[in-house]
Every structure is written in structure tokens, then in C-alpha cells.
Amino acid sequence: MMLSRRWSAFSVFFISLCLPASAGLAAEPSAAQAAVIAQQMQRYEGRVPGAALLVLQDGQPVVSRGFGLANLEDAIAVTPQSNFRLASISKQFTAASILLLAEDGKLRLEDPVKRWLPSLPSAADRITLRHLLSHTSGLIDYEEVMPADQSEQLHDIDVLHLLEGQDRTYFAPGSSYRYSNSGYALLALIVGKASGQDFASFLRQRIFLPLGMNNTVALEEGRSSVVNRAYGYSETDGRWQRTDQSSTSAVLGDGGIYSSLDDLARWDAALYDERLLKAESLKLAFSPATRTDEPHVPFYGFGWRIDGDTLWHSGESIGFRNVILRFPKERLTVLLLSNRNDPEPYATASAIAEAFRQR
């Protein structure tokens, strides 16, 4: 299958200030790599909900391209500037916020969560911020206890109120692993308490703007908006229906950030040096904090899944399926954002990564 003529039109280079000092002009993918991309991404082509694909190698964008549509109703194409809801890829930004505040001396990772959120029940007495970061708190999943007929959107503070009525945990804090959206919603609230400003503002002022991620936002309806927005869709009976929001879509700490390939290239660059976080903090984020029983996830750090030398995370929400794969020792990152409920993109991104790892 031949690559679309749009290839060169959608390829972009990122301003050198926001990339590692060694970054120069981007290389082109080889014919073999281009063929792998064409095969793997063909399901996103055409007048269907699409995807955005970024391949960074040695700090350079080898591929930065959109496929399909960001908005079906208005036939707006996906581009490297399209902003997708990151879903759980947001967690790495929540974790980074906590690490920044730890560097500031505003909190400690060993702080009891109840130091910051004292309204939690006694079952949370032994839970620390470290437990929240590593999904070892045992907190009850807020989606399991929210009202079945919930129609209004929940926010992070609503998660706290739901957990205030749950004087139990799945296991003793620190004794096991269970992926917890509840924990990251609470972390967002703690960022607000420790910093003296709301979570969305902290993200913008301490992470997004300093890195030049000018169009990245933790979306708060009525307070902020998303430019170049990709809307989420789900396929039902062979037809695509817009399914952009659910009752949990306004919870920020576990998945409420919108971003693009252009901005996430800047984020990736910052993970190689100390322009944002100190080396010690990056090491904490990228080091195994606990074992897991999830596929391709032997360990979890702080906002990152760890599989050998691979750092990655998926992000799945109604109408969105995303994944980031980083191979720091090889200076390679593959990022796939999609505004549709299927397919799950891990296998696609992995196949594309392998094509570049075998150069």
C-alpha cells in the first residue's frame, strides 16, 4: 500500500528551543518503515474517526502525521495540532505535579493522605501519597460506588465525597497493587491544597507553559476550552456516534488533560533532562515502585508502566484510545492518539516501534 500524498503536508518540525540540544532536521522514515506505518494505520484513513501518530528518534520527529477525521460532522482532518483527550496518559502529569511540589518542599511522598484530605474515613489512615502514586493504596474505585443513574459530571472533589462514605479498602495499603483512578483524583486535590491554586492552573503554570505546551489543557467546562479539538466517537451497528463525554470525563487527576503531538513532543523532550524535574524526581517516576499483574506491565512507577527498558502508558476513555511508548536508552518514542473506541492502540504502536528499533 502506498503512503498518502498528505505525508509531507502533515509532517512537522518542532522549534529547537523545546527539543534536546542535539535536535536538528528530522529524518525521513525508510521505505520499510513507511510501509509498516501504512499497513498499521490504514484503519484510521478516510472519513472515519482518526488518529495522530508521532515517532521521535534522537530528539527528532521522524513522523508526525494525522489520519482520518477529528470531527466527523464538520469533516475536519486530524493534524499534529489536534488535541485529544489523553485519558489515563494524564496520570504522568499528575505524578509530575506531586514530584514538583515535593521538590518545592511543599509536601513529602510519605505524607499520609489524610494530612491533606482529613475528611477521608479511618480506613485511609495508613495510605500515603506514595501509595496513591503507585496504585498500592487499596482505595475503592469511585466508579463502583457512584450512583448508577449518575447524569451530571463528576469532578475530583466529588470523588473525595464518594470515598468519604467508604470506610474500607480492597487490601491493606502497600500490600498489593490495584490500578486506581480514585487515587489520582485525590492527588489532583492534594496538588491544589499544597500549591494554593487549583490543579488545572498549577498544570498550566508549572508544566505546560514552561515547556511551551501552549495548547495543552486540563479541561474545565465553562472555564477553559480546547482548540483544534478532536471529538470522541464509538462505532455502534456499523455507524460512528459521537461519544465524547461521560459522567466521569470531568475528573481531571485521572484523565482530564487534552494535548497534541506537537505539545507532547515537548513533554517527551523534558523527560530527558532537568528542564522541568530534577534527575532524582525523574528516577523516582521511572523506577519500579510496585509489581503488577497486568499484561506488558511487570512494574508500575509514578504515572508510568515499566516493562524492562520500556516506559509506557495507555489512556482509554469513552471515544478515545491512546498510548505512549518510550525507549529512553534508544532515544525513541512512539505516541498514538485516537478519537474512537476501537482498536486498542498498544499493538499498533508496538509494531511501529519495532520498525524503528530495527534500523
pLDDT profile of the chain (359 residues), mean per 10: 33 35 60 97 98 96 97 98 98 98 98 98 98 98 95 96 98 98 98 98 98 98 97 96 96 98 98 98 98 95 97 98 98 98 97 89
* Lookup: cell for 169: 479498602
Amino acid 157: pLDDT = 98
Question: Is the Cβ–Cβ distance between 165 and 124 less than 8 Å?
Answer: no
Answer yes or no: is 38 within a domain: no
Amino acid 27: pLDDT = 79
Q: Measured between alpha carbons, how far is residue 156 from residues 99, 150, 186, 220, 322 in Å? A: 19, 15, 7, 11, 22
Q: 8: Cβ–Cβ under 8 A, 6 or more apart, which residues?
A: none
119 a catalytic residue: no
Answer yes or no: is 340 within a domain: no
Answer yes or no: is 302 within a domain: yes
Compute φ and ψ for 291, nearest 5 degrees.
-80, 155
Amino acid 151: pLDDT = 87
Answer yes or no: is 28 within a domain: no
**Count of domains observed in the chain:** 1
Query: Residue 230 and residue 139: Cα distance in Å, rounded?
Result: 32
Amino acid 14: pLDDT = 32
> Residue 106: which CATH number?
3.40.710.10
Amino acid 344: pLDDT = 96
Query: Residue 71 and residue 49: Cα distance in Å, rounded?
Result: 7
Query: Residue 85 and residue 317: Cα distance in Å, rounded?
Result: 8
Give the structural domain span for 233: 82-328
Answer yes or no: is 115 within a domain: yes
- Give 3-state DSSP helix, strand, coil % of the chain, rounded to 5: 35, 20, 45
Amino acid 12: pLDDT = 33
Amino acid 20: pLDDT = 38
Point out the catalytic residue in the list 82, 88, 259, 314. 88
Answer yes or no: is 352 within a domain: no
Answer yes or no: is 148 within a domain: yes
Consecutive H or E run containing 142: helix 142-145
